[in-house]
């Protein structure tokens, strides 16, 4: 070990507490699941919230937070309104990025990929698991379109509450998207900006792992 590295380790007692990124293994989804579980165990606030960025040539880029609901068949699933700004943008341009930040662990996870809608059955099952108020909210909100006055949202909510006294069906404009990753980057913060960046890139049907300068 170099003299400098020896001193660095002595000066930064926390150096070895961080993940040794060489231990990520060869499957990025297994590594993702482990980091996600560790974020939850570490008490990260809203560990499943991520920044979703979408873009079109006409409108440019836009970002917002959504919740990751599931990692299924190696695809990242979230739910939203298909007619929202993000929904329109993803229909026009299916390339998106996802960004998680878990500050307590000094970790950032950056994912790029393509998105498609999940099946109606999958969306139905998830919608049916939601509380009644959330279901009515999905009907009441014309997400991203202009709301003339706040009361209109309440009135719409009450209207659907009366319209669906029993089971609330899933609105046709509401459902899930699944993101198929083409790149997944694991970033572990280290002292003195000697951060570790490991990027898995999907290339010729296999995941390749490279390291990047921080």
Ligand X SMILES: Cc1cc2nc3c(=O)[nH]c(=O)nc-3n(C[C@H](O)[C@H](O)[C@H](O)COP(=O)(O)O)c2cc1C
| Contact set with ligand X (CB under 6 A) | 46, 49, 62, 64-67, 78-81, 84-86, 143-144
Q: Which is nearer to ligand X, 62 or 182 (CB)?
A: 62
Q: Which is nearer to ligand X, 137 or 189 (CB)?
A: 137
Give the C-alpha separation, 128 to 136, whole Å.
12
- Return the closest-CA partner of residue 173 out of 129, 151, 146, 141: 141
**Is the separation of the CB atoms in 28 and 199 below 8 Å?**
no
Q: How many CB atoms lie within 10 A of CB 157?
A: 15
Q: Which is nearer to ligand X, 64 or 211 (CB)?
A: 64
Q: How many CB atoms lie within 10 A of CB 205?
A: 5
Longest dimension (CA), the chain: 74
CB of 18 to ligand X, least distance (A): 26
CB of 117 to ligand X, least distance (A): 14
Q: Which is nearer to ligand X, 146 or 204 (CB)?
A: 146
**Is the separation of the CB atoms in 174 and 163 below 8 Å?**
no
CB of 105 to ligand X, least distance (A): 19
Beta bridge partners of 98: 52, 111
Give the C-alpha separation, 22 to 87, whole Å.
37
Q: Which is nearer to ligand X, 80 or 188 (CB)?
A: 80
Active site residues: 193
CB of 5 to ligand X, least distance (A): 40
Give 126's DSSP letter.
H
Question: In sequence order, what E strands does the chain have?
Answer: 49-56, 60-67, 70-72, 75-81, 95-102, 107-117, 174-188, 196-203, 206-212
CB of 182 to ligand X, least distance (A): 22
């Amino acid at each position: 070990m170099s003299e400098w590295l020896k001193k660095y380790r002595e000066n930064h007692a926390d150096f070895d507490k961080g993940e040794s990124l060489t231990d990520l293994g060869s499957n990025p989804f297994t590594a993702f699941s482990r980091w996600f579980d560790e974020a939850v165990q570490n008490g990260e606030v809203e560990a499943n919230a991520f920044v979703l960025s979408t873009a079109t040539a006409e409108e440019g880029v836009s970002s917002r937070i959504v919740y990751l609901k599931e990692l299924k068949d190696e695809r990242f699933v979230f739910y939203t309104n298909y007619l929202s700004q993000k929904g329109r943008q993803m229909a026009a341009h299916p390339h998106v990025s996802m960004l998680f930040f878990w500050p307590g662990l000094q970790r950032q996870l950056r994912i790029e990929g393509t998105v498609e809608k999940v099946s109606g059955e999958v969306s139905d099952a998830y919608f049916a698991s939601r509380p009644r108020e959330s279901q009515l909210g999905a009907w009441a909100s014309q997400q991203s379109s202009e709301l003339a006055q706040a009361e209109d949202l309440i009135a719409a909510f009450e209207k659907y509450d009366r319209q669906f006294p029993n089971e609330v069906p899933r609105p046709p404009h509401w459902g899930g998207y699944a993101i198929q990753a083409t790149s997944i980057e694991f970033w572990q913060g280290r002292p003195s900006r000697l951060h570790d960046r490991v990027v898995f890139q999907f290339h010729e049907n296999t995941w390749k792992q490279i390291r990047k300068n921080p």
